[in-house]
Structure 1
Amino acid sequence: MVGSVLRPDSYNRPFMIPPIANNFVAGEDPSTAIEHVTSCNSDGVDGILNLLGEHYSKRPPADADTQAYIDLIAALAAADVGGCVSVKPSQIGLDVGVDVFEENLASIVEAGQQHDRFVWIDMEDHTTTDVTLDAFETHAIGTDGDVGLCVQANLKRTREDIERLAELPGKIRFVKGAYDEPAEIAHKSKEAVNTAYKELLEFAFREFDDGIAVGSHDPAMIDHAAELHAEYGTDYEVQMLMGVREAAQRELAADGVPTYQYIPYGDKWMSYFYRRLRERKENALFAFRAIVGK
């Protein structure tokens, strides 16, 4: 079955990643990833590139990936494609030290400013939330909003966090959250997370000025965002993963909704792919549907 399924020609990529993972990872090198962004752009979808890697306990790999992001930002600008980057704090030094993370993030943000490219800061598990919020606040103010931050609806603290973020420039990406957090700090049922997500969107569309990113594949959440946009007029965009509901991504873009595809690449694709499938049952279902073309 898998071997008989082909993606559209514009998405076939000549590298040695197995066909299943090939749906979700845009190759092992930045040039191939940028080619994928170009294909997305032809359908009206912009790209958010993420170099795979996280939880480095030593500084050299954190510094190396920082430089890779700086080079990637320059390459995106040189290729003149619609794309930006998204970085994980633990990838650029947080596990080594807060000072290392802050120094490397500042270098990436500076490169983004030089090349007019937006920089997203991913959110990881709850132990990193405070330092990530602080870093975003620093750069949101320093760049007048040319950075974005991911927040997770499953964390009970997130409503209070976005009340703080509402006063800042920059974009906020709302996701449901994939980390297995303790029950005392996180909503555990699907219903509770969905309710929290909707309530967070309602607050954001009512109170935010600088834009909202709906990071969800759930049609109900995307429809809810469209209704809130109609009510409040707040700018928003939809972000989905590469390989998940790509037809819906193109349809949204055709309907005039700013749409972004989150595009991982790099040689650490195996751990990324299998973690995505383990995180939630929905991810495995999305993967199956993507593979069989439904």
Structure 2
Amino acid sequence: MIPPVANRFVAGERAIEALEYARRLDRDGVVPLVNLLGSHHDDRASVRADAAEYRALADRLATLEGEAAISVKPTQLGLDLDDSVFRGELERIVSRGRDRDVFVWLDMEEHGTVEATLEATVDLAAAYGDGIGVCLQADLYRTREDFDRLADTDAALRLVKGGAYPRPEAIAYTDPDRRDRAYRTLLERAFRRRGDAIAVATHDPAMIDHAQRLARRHDTDFQIQMLMGVRPAAQRDLAREHDVAQFVPYGERWKRWVLNRGRRNVGLAARAVGGTVIPGNRVS
């Protein structure tokens, strides 16, 4: 059982709990983006089990009235074992998602996984059309070229600041202000070049405002993505005029996820915890 406070960030340990939570989001007009927690599997049995659960998730999420999506990590699907294992499992998930009209997002992990992740995305977007999307991290120097590589494909693009993984300065911006500038530039390139299939994944109000201005300038729309448990009031407010998706993690590996949320961004975690334990205090 997931204890109080932690259950603000995680939907539960079992798929049925995540699906119940996803239905509540669906009724509120927020797109559930469901993730089974786990990464860096080093045995085939764990890879098969998680891949099978994602396919079952696609079946169940298809019963919602609104849109739904799943989000998977490459190393969860066997990238550490072999690229062919990863690609085979991912393709089966994307195929099931297309059949069930459930979108599949491919997360981006450590910098050593970027190339294999992008290669798989390009190939599957060509084969399955617009049923797949991938994350681009603005902190990596290579992201400008990676964006150009993906801009004319059918893959959707989830744009994040980055900084979730340790980076050497030789490959990434490590200063927060410089990372913010890189993110603004990435957003500007995306709205100018793509015009659609853009997800702005941030809790930063200034960056959301910037994306809104860009959308008005280029006469297009975009999706806003946020984590479960962070700025829930703002998510509901934004959903009145934008497509908003919430990342909904679940699974028995929740402790590591919750600890990482606190370690990587103490401010966000503290605000979310405050909203949980202080009567009348709403996270916004």
8 Å contact kept, 1:62–1:91: yes
**Which letter does structure 1 place at the counterpart of 2:220?**
T
TM-score normalised according to structure 2 size: 0.94
Task: Give runs of ≥4 in structure 1 deviating > 4 Å.
Answer: none
Name the CA shift for 1:110/1:204 in 2 (closer, same or farther; >3 Å).
same
Percent pairwise identity: 44
For the residues of structure 1 that align with 2:82 and 2:129, how far apart are their CA atoms? 26
Alignment-derived partner of residue 166 in structure 2: 180
8 Å contact kept, 2:26–2:64: no
Provide the secondary structure at the position in 2 that maps to 1:78.
Answer: coil
1:265-280 to structure 2, matched below 5 A, reads: 265-280=250-265
**Which letter does structure 2 place at the counterpart of 1:245?**
R
8 Å contact kept, 2:195–2:218: no
Alignment-derived partner of residue 240 in structure 1: 226
Offset at residue 221 of structure 1 (A): 0.5
**1:128 aligned to 113, 116, 140, which one?**
113
For the residues of structure 1 that align with 2:205 and 2:90, how far apart are their CA atoms? 33
Provide the secondary structure at the position in 1 that maps to 2:93.
Answer: helix
TM-score normalised according to structure 1 size: 0.91
Name the CA shift for 1:81/1:266 in 2 (closer, same or farther; >3 Å).
farther
For the residues of structure 1 that align with 2:215 and 2:196, how far apart are their CA atoms? 13
Offset at residue 106 of structure 1 (A): 0.5
1:171-250 to structure 2, matched below 5 A, reads: 171-177=156-162, 178-250=164-236
1:14-53 to structure 2, matched below 5 A, reads: 16-53=1-38
For the residues of structure 2 that align with 1:165 and 1:189, how far apart are their CA atoms? 26
Aligned length: 278
CA deviation string 1:19-63 (max 9, x = no partner): 111000001111111111111122211110000011001111011
Alignment-derived partner of residue 130 in structure 2: 145
8 Å contact kept, 1:38–1:81: no
8 Å contact kept, 1:148–1:171: yes
Q: Does 2:224 match 1:262?
A: no
Q: Which runs of 5+ in 1 are unaligned?
A: 1-15
Alignment-derived partner of residue 273 in structure 2: 288
Offset at residue 81 of structure 1 (A): 4.8
State the superposition RMSD in angstroms.
Answer: 1.3
1:63-74 to structure 2, matched below 5 A, reads: 63-74=48-59
1:156-167 to structure 2, matched below 5 A, reads: 156-167=141-152
Q: Which runs of 5+ in 2 are unaligned?
A: none
For the residues of structure 2 that align with 1:119 and 1:28, how far apart are their CA atoms? 21
